[in-house]
């Protein structure tokens, strides 16, 4: 805004400045006109100033219009915000008025409620006083009512008692006669009942003894069956142990034979390798000798034309060469015969090794067949043992069932005998009491009339007590029977769980002992195998170093041998050098062959040890699986 105001002030000051500039320009132009006499450039300068003035005015007008628009928009926004604030203020005022009115109403309601509460409390206290007075009056009336009811009940009871006494006095004589007759009949009936009870007790005793004998016989037979089955199981276990020992002995024998055959096979292979190396050595010697013969023949062919001269030394030289040639032919024939013999030995060793391999294959096949046969026999024996164990378990279960049944029957018989004895004692006591009553009735007929009411009440209560005691006795007997049955079941379950826990503990201890022994054996075997592996590694490293040294020596010797030999010196020197070279080459080749044989032997031993290590690992895995299955 300040920039725009400054621009407008500059525009306002612009005409004066332009006029002044025009005056200065006019003065200068007048002076120039006076001096030069040329005024043609003035209209063009005015036109330029006018265009500049017009442009600045247009820019000023545009800026003012833009500023006016922005100010109008801001004014409208401020007016809208002011109207919103006024509306919110009015709403707030109305809400304040409403809230004040509601507060006044609430205060008035609270005052009314407090007044009502005081009024209600006052009325409640008055009503409580009235209710207490009414309750006191009602209690008095209820006590009077209870007293009147008691008096009426007493009067009614006295009236009824008098009526019953009158009826009893009237029926007393007839009842005495009837009771005497009934007592006589009851005495006869009780005598018969005692006789029947005695008979039933005797029959129950006989039946109980018969059942007891029968169950004892059955129990004894089951025990005999169990003992027979146990003996059979023991015999089967002994046979299995014998078969197992026999299998172990046979496996040891077969393993010893296999080891012997393997040793023979290894010896034969070593002899075969030695024969091959000797054959190669002889063939190499034969080749060297043939080469020497060819070289000597060439020398002889060279020296033959020279031998036609008259020199005697040349003749002697030719004779020497011919003698050497004959010797070389003889050596060649001898080496050829040796090579043929070594070939024959090689064929013999090959045949021996083939026969050993065939025998080893046959032995392994027979060993596998015997192993399968023994495994099959062991499986059959295990199946028979399982069947016998199942039979033994079934027999034990049947024996337990029979024993439990025998115990239950014996308990039932004892309980029935006890109940019968108790009933007999009760009946005898009743008979004694009845006899006493009968004797007393004859002596106390005069006193009976006075004590009739008392005796009737006592007899009634005694009869009720007797019936109640009988019912309670029957209930007690039933509860006792149920408790005995529950006790027997729980005792059987406890014994069964105890045997199962003992069996599981024994199996666990046996498995732990076997696992510890197997673990110690496996650890020992692992330590031995690791020790042997470390020793073999050390031997391999030593052999590798030795082989490198020998190979380096062999290369040096081969380079020396392959170097061109000079025949400049005399023939004796050449022959001696050749023989020395062949001897040194033969010794180095022999050493290299021996080292190769040693390396082959060590590699073969390493492979055997690796196979044994793998077999031990497989055996350890199998034992771990067996232990997991047993657990």
Question: Would you say residue 241 has pLDDT above 70?
Answer: yes
Asked if 279 and 342 count as a contact pair (C-beta separation under 8 A), the reply is yes
Give pLDDT, residue 281: 75
Domain annotation covers residue 339: yes
Give pLDDT, residue 202: 78
Give pLDDT, residue 19: 36
Domain annotation covers residue 346: yes
Give pLDDT, residue 22: 38
The share of the chain scoring above pLDDT 90, in percent, equals 0
Give pLDDT, residue 488: 75
Confidence band of 308 (pLDDT split at 50, 70, 90):
very low
If you search the block for the tokens 């209930």, which residue do you land on? 475
Give burial (CB, 10 Å; 0-12/13-18/19+) of 303.
Answer: middle
**What's the total number of domains in the chain?**
1
Domain annotation covers residue 587: no
pLDDT in tens, 181-208: 777 787 777 778 777 777 777 787 787 7
Give pLDDT, residue 554: 65
In angstroms, what CA-CA distances link 31 with 26, 37, 40, 48, 369?
8, 9, 14, 22, 148
How far apart are alpha carbons 34 and 208 in whole angstroms?
178
- Burial profile 527-566: b = 16 or more Cβ within 10 angstroms, e = fewer: eebeeeeeebeeeeeebeeeeeebeeebeebeeeeeeeee
Question: Would you say residue 97 has pLDDT above 60?
Answer: yes
Number of Cβ within a 10 Å radius of residue 268? 20
**Residue length of the chain:** 631
Please enumerate, as own/partner, the contacts of 333-341 that have beta carbons within 8 Å and a separation of 24 or more: 335/282, 335/285, 335/286, 335/289, 336/286, 338/282, 339/279, 339/282, 339/283, 339/286
Domain annotation covers residue 336: yes
How far apart are alpha carbons 441 and 181 in whole angstroms?
13
How far apart are alpha carbons 486 and 478 in whole angstroms?
12
pLDDT in tens, 543-552: 667 667 766 7
Q: Which candidate, 428, 443, 410, places its Cα nearest to that of 212?
A: 410
Question: Would you say residue 482 has pLDDT above 60?
Answer: yes
**Strand (E) or helix (H) holding 627:** helix 571-630
Give pLDDT, residue 546: 67
* Cα 119 → chain centroid: 79
The DSSP string of 228-250 is HHHHHHHHHHHHHHHHHHHHHHH
Tokens of residue 552, six digits: 């380096």
Virtual torsion, Cα 339, 343, 346, 351, nearest 10 deg: -160
The DSSP string of 416-433 is HHHHHHHHHHHHHHHHHH
Domain annotation covers residue 83: no
pLDDT in tens, 67-89: 878 878 877 887 777 777 777 77
Asked if 399 and 219 count as a contact pair (C-beta separation under 8 A), the reply is yes
Domain annotation covers residue 239: yes
pLDDT in tens, 377-428: 777 777 777 777 777 777 677 767 776 776 777 777 677 777 777 777 777 7
The DSSP string of 451-462 is THHHHHHHHHHH
Question: Would you say residue 59 has pLDDT above 80?
Answer: yes
The residues, ordered by sequence, that sit 6+ positions from 540 with a Cβ below 8 Å of its Cβ are 602, 606
Determine the average pLDDT of the residues in 556-583. 52
Find the domain containing 220 and state its range.
204-439
How far apart are alpha carbons 620 and 419 in whole angstroms?
69
Give pLDDT, residue 20: 38
Please enumerate, as own/partner, the contacts of 423-428 that have beta carbons within 8 Å and a separation of 24 or more: 423/197, 424/194, 424/197, 424/198, 424/201, 427/190, 427/193, 427/194, 427/197, 428/194
What sign does the CA torsion over 513, 516, 519, 524 have?
A: negative
* Angle ∠(266,270,273) on CA atoms, nearest 5: 140
How far apart are alpha carbons 614 and 571 in whole angstroms?
64
Specify the CATH number for the domain of residue 346.
1.10.287
Determine the average pLDDT of the residues in 464-476. 72
Q: Report the mean per-residue pLDDT for the chain.
A: 70
Give pLDDT, residue 383: 79
Domain annotation covers residue 469: no
DSSP 565: P
- For the chain, the C-alpha Rg in angstroms (whole number) is 71
Domain annotation covers residue 188: no
Give pLDDT, residue 296: 67
Asked if 418 and 205 count as a contact pair (C-beta separation under 8 A), the reply is no
The residues, ordered by sequence, that sit 6+ positions from 163 with a Cβ below 8 Å of its Cβ are none
Confidence band of 243 (pLDDT split at 50, 70, 90):
confident
Please count the helices (runs of H) and the strands (runs of E) in the chain: 6, 0
């Amino acid at each position: 805004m300040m920039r725009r105001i400054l621009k407008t002030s500059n525009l306002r000051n612009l005409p004066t400045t332009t006029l002044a500039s025009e005056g200065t320009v006019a003065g200068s132009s007048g002076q120039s006109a006076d001096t030069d006499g040329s005024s043609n450039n003035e209209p063009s300068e005015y036109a330029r100033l006018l265009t500049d003035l017009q442009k600045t005015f247009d820019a000023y007008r545009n800026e003012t219009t833009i500023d006016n628009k922005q100010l109008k928009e801001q004014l409208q926004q401020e007016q809208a915000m002011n109207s919103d604030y006024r509306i919110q203020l009015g709403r707030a005022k109305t809400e304040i008025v409403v809230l004040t009115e509601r507060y006044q109403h609430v205060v008035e309601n609270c005052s009314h409620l407090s007044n009502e509460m005081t009024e209600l409390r006052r009325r409640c206290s008055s009503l409580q006083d009235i209710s207490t007075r009414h309750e006191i009056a009602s209690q008095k009336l209820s006590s009077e009512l209870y007293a009147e009811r008691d008096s009426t009940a007493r009067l009614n009871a006295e009236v009824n008692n008098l009526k019953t006494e009158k009826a009893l006095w009237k029926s007393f004589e007839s009842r005495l006669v009837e009771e005497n007759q009934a007592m006589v009949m009851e005495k006869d009936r009780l005598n018969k009942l005692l006789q029947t009870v005695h008979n039933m007790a005797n029959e129950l005793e006989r039946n109980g003894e018969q059942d007891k004998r029968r169950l004892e016989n059955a129990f004894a037979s089951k025990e005999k069956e169990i003992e027979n089955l146990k003996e059979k199981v023991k015999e089967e276990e002994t046979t299995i142990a014998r078969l197992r020992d026999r299998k172990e002995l046979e496996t040891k024998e077969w393993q010893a034979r296999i080891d012997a055959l393997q040793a023979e096979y290894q010896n034969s292979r070593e002899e075969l390798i030695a024969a091959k190396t000797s054959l190669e050595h002889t063939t190499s010697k034969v080749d060297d000798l043939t080469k020497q013969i060819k070289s000597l023949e060439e020398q002889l062919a060279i020296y033959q034309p020279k031998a036609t001269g008259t020199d005697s030394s040349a003749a002697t030289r030719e004779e020497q060469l011919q003698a050497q040639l004959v010797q070389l032919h003889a050596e060649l024939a001898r080496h050829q015969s040796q090579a043929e013999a070594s070939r024959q030995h090689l064929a013999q060793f090959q045949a021996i090794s083939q026969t050993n391999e065939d025998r080893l294959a046959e032995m392994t096949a027979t060993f596998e067949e015997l192993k399968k046969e023994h495994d099959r026999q062991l499986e059959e024996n295990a199946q028979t043992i399982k069947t016998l164990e199942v039979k033994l378990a079934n027999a034990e279960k049947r024996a337990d069932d029979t024993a439990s049944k025998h115990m239950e029957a014996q308990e039932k018989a004892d309980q029935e005998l006890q109940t019968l004895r108790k009933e007999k004692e009760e009946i005898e006591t009743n008979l004694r009491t009845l006899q006493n009553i009968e004797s007393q009735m004859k002596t106390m007929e005069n006193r009976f009339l006075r004590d009739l009411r008392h005796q009737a009440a006592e007899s009634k209560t005694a009869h009720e007590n007797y019936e109640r005691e009988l019912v309670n006795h029957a209930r007690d007997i039933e509860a006792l029977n149920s408790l005995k049955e529950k006790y027997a079941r729980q005792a059987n379950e406890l014994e069964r769980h105890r045997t199962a826990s003992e069996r599981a503990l024994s199996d666990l201890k046996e498995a732990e002992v076997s696992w510890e022994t197997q673990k110690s054996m496996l650890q020992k075997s692992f330590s031995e195998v690791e020790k042997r592996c470390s020793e073999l590694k050390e031997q391999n490293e030593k052999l590798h170093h030795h082989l490198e040294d020998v190979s380096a020596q062999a290369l040096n010797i081969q380079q020396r041998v392959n170097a061109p030999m000079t025949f400049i010196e005399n023939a004796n020197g050449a022959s001696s050098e050749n023989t020395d070279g062949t001897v040194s080459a033969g010794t180095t080749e022999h050493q290299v062959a021996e080292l190769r044989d040693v390396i082959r032997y060590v590699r073969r031993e390493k492979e055997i040890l690796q196979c044994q290590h793998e077999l031990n690992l497989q055996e350890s895995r199998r034992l771990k699986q067996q232990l997991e299955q047993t657990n």
